[in-house]
Structure 1
Amino acid sequence: MTFIPPVGRVSAVNTAEGIYHIQTEFALRPQPRVTTTVTFNGRVVHKDNYPCKPEILAEESRDLLEAILNDQHKKVKESIQKQKGDIVSKTEKPSTPDKSQQAEIIRENLSKIKGVKEILTLDWESLKRPAKFEQSLLSTTYENLVAKVLNFALEIQNQSRLGNIKEAKGVWQNSPFLILGNLSPALALFLQPDVDFSTVQTPIQLVLAKYYAE
């Protein structure tokens, strides 16, 4: 079975100096490892490497690998907060927008990412009931495609221990698409033809990290 790397972790710490961006991801080469990189003003200012044994690639070790990713990311983030101070924790927190406002802000920021062609809003409650997929879509441009992908994703979910759908992606007529099922409402992002997922993955995670901080 082909090994599928876990999704990385991205977050940011807002300090008096500026914003520190933290990214944790798993790499296979030159050896399996979890790497956490801290950037400030576009420069790498810190990097941690956590070597992993080859056994971590086994399916039964998936939960352990996810735990290592979370733990390493959390440790580095807390270290930055302790050393540099987190403005958000030291000042009065701004009022949190309601869910509808938050969803619109997220959608607007995602639409600004280079390579994103169109974004569809999906009714997540309806998406949990396969028979109502098509009625849940607010746009008909890619209705049949999205319905088929989500039906397939839910079938996998129902037959596995992975829980709710977090992300699904594919390519249709040379246009890559990405479904973000962990949002409320869920979103389907369609990219420009020939745009690689890897070029938008980090910008997407940065947008989400800003509004769904740990």
Structure 2
Amino acid sequence: MTQQKYQPIYEALKAGNNPDERLWEELISHCRCEVRRRIEHYNFAFLANEDDIDRIVHDFVYALAKSINLYDPERATLKTYVNGIIDNMVKNAVKEFNKRKRDKSIEILEYCTVVEGKEDPERQFLIKEEIEELYGIIRQLTSQQYDVVKLRLIDGLSVEETALLLGASTKIVSNRLNKAIERINILKERNNKSIKFKHNN
């Protein structure tokens, strides 16, 4: 078959009909293989389980049906269009995973704060104060610096994963992170001096 083998699926969906079952199953199989290939290529091992892959494939089916009217057969084959959707599905799955991980991290952090300060209210207050100070400093970064710090240092992604999500090169990601760390150190030093000045007065 040629690269246009999935074109009948587009024609059927466009007309509001069910596509050929055999061809549809072949497309779903292609989607599943492409999802696995991208997970392996980008080293997203945390998505390499059947539940997450099934969810991505399910989202793909919905996304294809929803966006079929945007597809232009004159500009690309349906297979190329489909691969673009799969790319977005995998990236969205990574974002969702990171959000779940971030939310869980916050829960753990809050739990640790309560546990560590359970018998020592002063200790609990100091932990919360340190956290608030750090987030106050991070909020003073540029949006680009903040994104890199969040993905690399808070969410724990690799340079390659961060570059993929931000649509930047690994070199740019590393440069932004270095500048962000320099900025954080400067802000921490200023903040410490400000605290000392207040205490001395």
Q: Could you say whether these structures have the same fold, taking a TM-score greater than 0.5 normalized by the shorter chain as the test? A: no
Q: Scaled by the length of structure 2, what TM-score is found? A: 0.25
Q: Which has the higher helix share?
A: 2
Structure number with bigger Rg: 2
Q: Which has the higher strand share?
A: 1
